[in-house]
Amino acid sequence: MGLSVGIVGLPNVGKSTTFNALTKAQNAQAENYPFCTIEPNKAIVPVPDARLAELAKIVNPEKIQYSTIDFVDIAGLVKGASKGEGLGNKFLSNIREVEVMLHMVRCFEDENIVHVEGGINPLRDIEIIEGELIFADIEQLEKKIAKLQRDAKTKKDARAKLEIAEELKDHLDNLQPVSTFSKIEDETFLEFDQELRFLSNKEIIYGANTDEDGLLEDNEYVKTLKEHASKSGFEVITLCAKIEEELVGLEDDEAKEFLTELGIQESGLEKIIKTAFSKLGLISYFTAGVMEVRAWTITKGWTAPKSASVIHNDFEKGFIRAEVIAYDDFIKFSGEAGSKDAGKMRLEGKEYIVADGDVMHFRFNV
């Protein structure tokens, strides 16, 4: 389940409503906007990218294919999940497999929607969930420490690893997340993280679920959440999950008009999807032909041959060169021919690092 985003949160905070909107629960799909649900709790959703439409105006393709991102609706969490309360074990096993967490936090009052903790308090809710992540990490680390203690009797390298593991245990015992550990760049720590997949070391995006009024001006709950997030360097995206679910039932033009009437430029879901894509370290390059205009998802920093492999493995094996046009040039000079005439097409070799938005054509031989 690599490169996926897990949606977490206490009951009745808008987690399921947000997931329903992401999965287009009302079965309203925009034309050429691919979407599928491959499990009841997992969805592959398109990454909004206006550049594809601009490319299509020039190329006039038969179809458009967007980059996609996986969202996973993690089983509900309650206090004591790390000890198996509720669906805690399922929650923790699922979240261990995702790369980024979208932590939904309730930031609105509604007497008709009961809060599991009895009242609205974003910081308390965050403390509950993130505390459970820390407790789960402690349990995992304790098992590792026990093994290292046995190994340290006969293996010198185990003693050094044990020292760092015990330092990390002290850090966690003070209810500090793994992400703030001082030796997070240490090779031994990285080895631990790869093996144990620490929950409190994952990137977090906070989803501040508010009411309609809160979309135009941050209420006190959202302000509190943003102040907390800024200390950790995490992003906060404000949305109204109820409105987002309504939006997916509208045509594109209707949705834009609805958002304009609300005084909003972009839907909360679009912000979440784009932010999550970026947090995963992903970018897109494009291919543009009469059959399709398509965004291909790669990891930032990939070379041209590695990037070509997402189209087909043979493209990497037999890579010769890549013909590259920057997106802005492709638009400015009205396509491939115009870009060539303007000297804006480059021939790049095996060492070229693909940039976000590159329009590419690969030459290969197998």
The domains of the chain, with CATH numbers, are 4-48+66-118+202-279 (3.40.50.300), 129-200 (1.10.150.300), 301-364 (3.10.20.30)
- What average pLDDT does range 143-149 have in this prediction? 94
From 48-57, 78-87, 183-192, the region with the lowest mean pLDDT? 78-87
Residue type, 220: E
H or E element in which residue 54 lies: helix 50-59
Model pTM score: 0.84
The whole-number pLDDT of residue 220 equals 95
Confidence of residue 79 (pLDDT cuts 50, 70, 90): low
| DSSP conformation letters of 171-201 | HHHTT--GGG-TTTTSHHHHHHHHHH--GGG
The whole-number pLDDT of residue 181 equals 95
**CA-CA distance, 102 to 22, in Å (whole number)?**
12
- What average pLDDT does range 120-139 have in this prediction? 91
Angle at 222 between CA 219 and CA 226, to 5 degrees: 140
**Average pLDDT, rounded, for the chain:** 87
Q: Given a cut of 50, is residue 25 above it in pLDDT?
A: no
- What average pLDDT does range 301-307 have in this prediction? 97
**CA within 13 Å, CB half, 10:** 29
Inter-CA distances, 97 with 91, 308, 344, Å: 10, 26, 42
Question: In the chain, what percentage of residues exceed pLDDT 90?
Answer: 58
Q: Given a cut of 70, is residue 81 above it in pLDDT?
A: no
Inter-CA distances, 237 with 40, 128, 181, 218, 276, Å: 25, 20, 26, 11, 11
Coil, strand or helix at 243: helix
Structure-model confidence comparison of residues 251 and 142, the more confident one: 142
- What average pLDDT does range 66-81 have in this prediction? 74
Residue 362 and residue 322 in contact, taking contact as beta carbons nearer than 8 Å: yes
The CB-based long-range contact list for 332-338 (8 Å cut-off, 24+ gap) reads 334/58, 335/58, 335/59, 335/288, 336/288
**CA-CA distance, 358 to 95, in Å (whole number)?**
33
The whole-number pLDDT of residue 356 equals 97
Cα separation of the two ends of the chain = 31
